[in-house]
Chain A
């Protein structure tokens, strides 16, 4: 099972977030990436936490920083990838994979196939931010900032076009031992195509491994000394 790190990129700087809401500055993105390289993280997932309107100037600014990132660890990038124009700007950047969220929710097949042509089918990931509201699970469409019921999501389409699917427990993002595994009961997908994120720590990692998921992405705590990925990977916890 792969163990990766989830890093948020907001206004050209790395941030931490809690429950998909509060943001706290983390500093220079390259510093964060360099630490994850040193920890021998299996992969790094860089996400722009976009909600609704995402000005192209903001995207360009973030891409500008991404262009100069130096890392020998595989990187997946996403957040605000909503047109072919966005995809074209990513060609040649030091990233291997792309993750799409609203594009899969609204079934933007043209965009997904365009990305597949430029980056390969193996590079396409689907990212589903999931929230539990009044005992029911919903998927957040970041482009409209609206929650969708699970039965509105075409999981067959996602399974067909996404190489892997990232499930984010937004309620517990940034917290300890908190990932809600009931999400997997609601979303019937091949565990070998699933990565989990949001409230991941040691106990949840062991449980994820037993369930046979392909990987986990540790969110906020990844750089904290007391919960570092290095310790998790090398069995020091």
Chain B
């Protein structure tokens, strides 16, 4: 049984890893200490994107969707996006949320009838995945590489059927 790194009393159930400029910090926390630090399940959705945001930028950026006018704070408060274009505008904030809720990041279900499936965008994605896969293998992050490889396989199948 692993004890919480902060209080050393309760069993850890939240494992937090932070990577800043090649420096890795790992914490094992119990539910209570995690909530206090804003790392519990309740605050995880907003805090993950906040942590990423604060780590990489010194100043605050004001991101607004130019199709509907929604800004990041409004999205954070309501949890709802304003329009289809928001998915592009806020993509880097959505990434951790999608990962948390769905574990997957690529749609593999049905497609609207008569949708003009842009092969180009699929090929671009495949290239991107292949690059990430190569990087992961080089860094010896084999678990990540395996996940990427599965995603790539699914994508290749989609490309073949189109």
Do A and B pair up? The answer is: no
- Residues of B whose CB lies within 8 Å of any CB of A are none
- Residues of A whose CB lies within 8 Å of any CB of B are none
